[in-house]
Amino acid sequence: MIIAIPSSGRATRQTTWANLPPSIAAQTHVFVYERERPAYKAVNSSMHLKSVPAHIQGIGAKRQFILEEARKCGVTKVVMLDDDLTFAVRRKDRPQLFTTPVDADIELMFEDIKINLSHLAHVGVSPREGANRNPFEKLLMNTRPSRILGYRVDILEQENISFGDMNLMEDFYISLSLLTRGHDTANLNWIVQNQQGSNTSGGCSQYRTMERQAEASLALHKKFPAFVKVVTKQTKTAWGGQERTDVIISWKKARASFNAIKC
């Protein structure tokens, strides 16, 4: 399994990398543009860097590039992590609450992703936001992908599903494509991930504008009109607290639609 962190403009802020145990960091590749390699290397010479060609623009295209690199190596399982993540594990006495994980927890998280990718097309990790509401299930089926994205490369290839079809909301597009074709997805729920802030400097914020966010929302609705509703939401921190165009997605309805068609 390939562990990849796509990154750009954040050489000095590699939060995910800093939170990985040494055993996992040794297996992890950070995918950056060639022009950024010196900056990343200067901050951490032990970081395993992989160059992304300059013509690969946007997170969708970069994720597809990572999948293609895995395919060239004959690897069928890939997990991609945002570069600004922290982790928390459920407390055994009160599972609706969380505590700081030890290295063994993070190692088990990747092993659990790998095992579940043996029979599922996509496996991620639940976000900490709202995770207190469903504290007992170890695995949540057919729900929202978020920030940690594990995929079966061979299944995406067989279904002709590409990240390149969307530059934003590409993770939603991939999951909906899989679900509506009868493939189950899952999120680990005994451990969660969190993000320090949405649309912070670097990364997707270099090109994700309010206008592009709206375009992506409408494009996703057009591709999956029965399962994607376009809405207006109040942004709490990003874009100066302005209202943004976003989506509400019926994940389980999308998966059920395949069975309904088969009947």
Spatial separation of the C-alpha atoms in residues 77 and 122, rounded to whole Å: 9
Maximal C-alpha separation, the chain: 58
95 phi and psi angles, rounded to 5 deg: -65, -10
pLDDT digits (tens, 9 = 90+) for 130-169: 999 999 999 999 999 999 999 999 999 999 999 989 889 9
User: Does the pLDDT at position 200 exceed 90?
Assistant: no
Are 143 and 251 in contact by the 8 Å Cβ rule? The answer is yes
Dist CA 119 CA 150 (whole Å): 12
> 191: alpha, beta or left, given left = phi > 0 and alpha = psi -120 to 50?
beta
For 244, the token pair is: 């943004």
Tokens of 72: 């060239």
Distance CA 230, CA 61 (A): 24
The CA radius of gyration of the chain, in Å to the nearest whole number, is 18
CB 257 within 8 A of CB 226: yes
**Which domain range does residue 86 map to?**
2-262
Return the pLDDT at 201: 55
In this predicted structure, the answer to whether residue 172 has a pLDDT above a threshold of 70 is: yes
Q: Is 249 in contact with 145 (CB distance < 8 Å)?
A: no
34, 53 contact by CB (below 8 A) = yes
- Is 90 exceeded by the pLDDT of residue 98? yes
Q: Which residue, 185, 191, 234, 2, is CA-closest to 85?
A: 191
CA atoms within 13 A on the CB side of 64: 20
pLDDT (mean) for 15-20: 96
Q: Is the pLDDT of residue 4 over 60?
A: yes
Structural domains of the chain, count? 1
Handedness of CA 45, 48, 53, 55 (dihedral sign): negative
**Residue 146 has what DSSP assignment?**
B
CATH number at residue 170: 3.90.550
Beta carbons of 77 and 114 less than 8 angstroms apart: yes
Q: Is-contact 173 220, C-beta < 8 A?
A: yes
The number of helix segments (H) and strand segments (E) in the chain equals 9, 12
In the predicted model, what is the mean pLDDT of residues 67-94? 97
pLDDT of residue 207: 59
